Structure 1
Amino acid sequence: MSPARPPAPPAKASGLRRHRALMARLAAGPAPGAVALGDSLVAGWPEADLGRATGLPALNLGLPGDRVQTTRWRLAAMAAFAPRPRLALVMVGTNSFADGDGPETIVAGLAALVAELRAAWAPPVVVLATVPWRGAPPGRSEADRLALNAALAALAALAGARDLRLLDCDAALGPDPTPGLDADRLHLNAHGYAALSGALAARLQGG
């Protein structure tokens, strides 16, 4: 397995400002029952929908522009708050994919992120989302995305169904994902988040 990219802060000042605002929310409490970490696909997921899907008070810690290494850096910065959530959702990788990172690099980073999450906050359940269909970035193909998602599924299978559960975004959005996407063919709309929320609820109920 190729080494993961080392943790790194957000590249933009706006990202750092938003990260600090999220840290302030986490510090202010109350401690959430569920947390969501990742990029803009997480950031756009309504907390109310996450709460209904998980059955827990949810805190959305998503940050637009996050790469796997950025989420790892932000988790390290927030680790001391130790909210001890009962569930953590991780959905990050589409920007790393667009950067040209291969499946081995992304999966290695996500494996490290999950291990760091467990060490910091000890959630009994971690849900790892695959990368939803998106307009292919230059130099990347649909086959590349499917290979990445297959590697993510293999990572979840190694951990066991109850330790690390896979949220299959392709299955949730259906054979034609475009009704769930914004016009940019990357971000999700209300229909897309409703589909993912339903799939997340079903995945949790299924054990």
Structure 2
Amino acid sequence: MSTARPPVPPAKASGLRRHRALMARLASGPAPEAVLLGDSLAAGWPEPALSRATGLPACNLGLPGDRVQTTRWRLAAMAAIAVRPRLAVVMVGTNSFADGDAPEAIVAGLAALVALLRTAWAPPVIVLATVPWRAPPPGRCEADRLALNAAIGAWAGNEALPLLDGEAALHPEPATRLEADRLHLNARGYAALSAALASLLRTG
């Protein structure tokens, strides 16, 4: 497996401030039974919709701008907070993809992130999300994103992790479920994603 990028803090001061605010909220309780980790796609997921989809009190720990290595750094910083969620959803990778990282490097980072999550909070269920359809960033193409999702799916299968398939969730008209930037999800997109997560958890 390729080497993962080392953990790094958020690049912007505003990201660090928001990260600290999330840590303070997590530390002051009540302890969530479901947590969501990841980038802006995770951060935009409304907590009430996430709680309904999981059937659990949820806390959204997503942060816009996160790469896989940023989420790893932030989880390491939060690991000392004694929470024991029953479920964790990991949705990160679209920014690493846009940076040009190879699928193998992204999957290696996700593997390290999941290992840390198991050590820190030991959730019985960890759901790993693929990268939903998005406008190809400069230097990348649709085939690259599909290759990344195939690599994520293969690794998740080997680890027996439930896979939230963003491709299937936004099918058949993914563009109608995104904002005008063709990257971030709109209300329809999050409704579709919530329905897919609820179905996954029911059948899993």
**TM-score past 0.5 threshold:** yes
Render the CA deviation track for 1:16-46: whole Å, top value 9, x for unaligned.
Answer: 0000000010001011000000000000000
- Structure 1: how far apart are the matches of 2:45 and 2:37? 11
CA apart distance, 1:132: 0.5
**1:191 paired residue number:** 188
- Structure 1: how far apart are the matches of 2:14 and 2:72? 18
**1:168 paired residue number:** 165
- Structure 2: how far apart are the matches of 1:119 and 1:21? 23
Letter in 1 for 2:20: R
Matches within 5 A, 1:66-85: 66-85=66-85
Whether 2:144 is the aligned partner of 1:144: answer yes
Give SS of 1:80's match.
coil
**2:128 paired residue number:** 128
Whether 2:25 is the aligned partner of 1:25: answer yes
Give SS of 2:198's match.
helix
Letter in 2 for 1:151: A
Letter in 2 for 1:10: P
**1:102 paired residue number:** 102
- Structure 2: how far apart are the matches of 1:115 and 1:203? 22
Letter in 2 for 1:89: V
Give SS of 1:147's match.
helix
- Structure 2: how far apart are the matches of 1:187 and 1:70? 19
CA-based RMSD of the aligned residues comes to 0.5
Q: Indicate which of 176, 179, 182 corresponds to 2:176.
A: 179
CA apart distance, 1:105: 0.3
CA apart distance, 1:82: 2.3
- Structure 1: how far apart are the matches of 2:73 and 2:55? 28
Aligned residues: 204
Give SS of 2:127's match.
strand
- Structure 1: how far apart are the matches of 2:7 and 2:142? 27
Whether 2:53 is the aligned partner of 1:53: answer yes
Render the CA deviation track for 1:124-160: whole Å, top value 9, x for unaligned.
Answer: 0000000001110010000000000000100111012
**2:113 paired residue number:** 113
Render the CA deviation track for 1:77-119: whole Å, top value 9, x for unaligned.
Answer: 0000021100000000000000000100000000110010010
Give SS of 2:35's match.
strand
Give SS of 1:195's match.
helix
- Structure 2: how far apart are the matches of 1:80 and 1:121? 9
- TM-score normalised to structure 2 length: 0.99
Give SS of 1:153's match.
helix
Letter in 1 for 2:101: D
Render the CA deviation track for 1:172-201: whole Å, top value 9, x for unaligned.
Answer: 100320111000000000000000000000
Letter in 2 for 1:184: D
**2:89 paired residue number:** 89
- Structure 1: how far apart are the matches of 2:54 and 2:159? 21
Give unmatched runs, 5+ long, in structure 2: none
